[in-house]
Amino acid sequence: MNYQFDWQLVLSGEYSQWLVDGVIVTLKISAVSLLFSMLLGTIVAVMRMTKFKPLEWLGLAYTEFFRNTPLLVQIYFWYFGSSQVLPDVVNKWLYARDFEFAAGVISLTVYTSAFIAEEIRSGIFSIPKNQLEASRAVGLSFVQAYRYVILPQAFRIIIPPLISQALNLIKNSSLVMVIGVMDIFYMAKQIESYSFHGFEAFTVATLIYLSISLVVSLCINLYDKHFLRQISY
């Protein structure tokens, strides 16, 4: 093989800017998806804890469906089938903007929120039941009791697994390149197509994902060291 490595080609000039743009898109789609995943996951978790059976069954069906179907299938579903599922007003709003980005956010959100809902539910189960009963006894409604008493404690307990879900979401975001979202992986593929230096491009992309993952892992370790030990004392 006479392959000539050219790292300078990828790390400087126009191609390096492509990678920077890809990093920005990856962080942006991950942050937006994580925010919506937390909100939706919290709602689904509370639905599963209610005594109203239709809501409980709906929450169960949601988590089981989205946790047990491949993310790539969901990405294609929302990209090609959102016009059949979402209201026309929403579809017009999405098509007037970056539809590929929106489809990626929707697919990552519904997929990740199903896992986050289970993490939140496990955190709720770790809280003594008498706290909910005491909250109701002092006059709080079911929603108020969860908002002011149960959920704050649950989130404090499950922050490490939530950070792990955030890490998974960042890595899963690489799949949205299949619908044209110009993230890190998409840009690395474009560099390979234009320069035929795919090894360098994908190596740099891998190191970027690794760097992001290490930063998130560092946050987990710092939280465990400085906060969880304080709780144990």
pLDDT digits (tens, 9 = 90+) for 67-118: 999 999 999 999 998 878 878 888 787 777 788 999 999 999 999 999 999 9
Scanning the chain, the segments in alpha helix (DSSP H) are: 7-11, 13-49, 53-67, 71-85, 88-95, 99-125, 129-137, 142-145, 151-157, 159-172, 184-195, 198-223, 229-232
Q: Which two tokens stand for residue 16?
A: 């390096």
121 three-state secondary structure: helix
pLDDT for position 104: 94
Q: pTM of the entire structure?
A: 0.88
Q: Determine contact, residues 178/186, Cβ cutoff 8 Å.
A: no
User: What is the second-level CATH architecture of the domain 7-232?
Assistant: Orthogonal Bundle (1.10)
Residue type, 224: D
Residues of the chain with pLDDT under 50: 231-233
The reported pLDDT for the residue numbered 230 is 56
pLDDT for position 227:
62
* pLDDT more than 90, % of the chain: 49
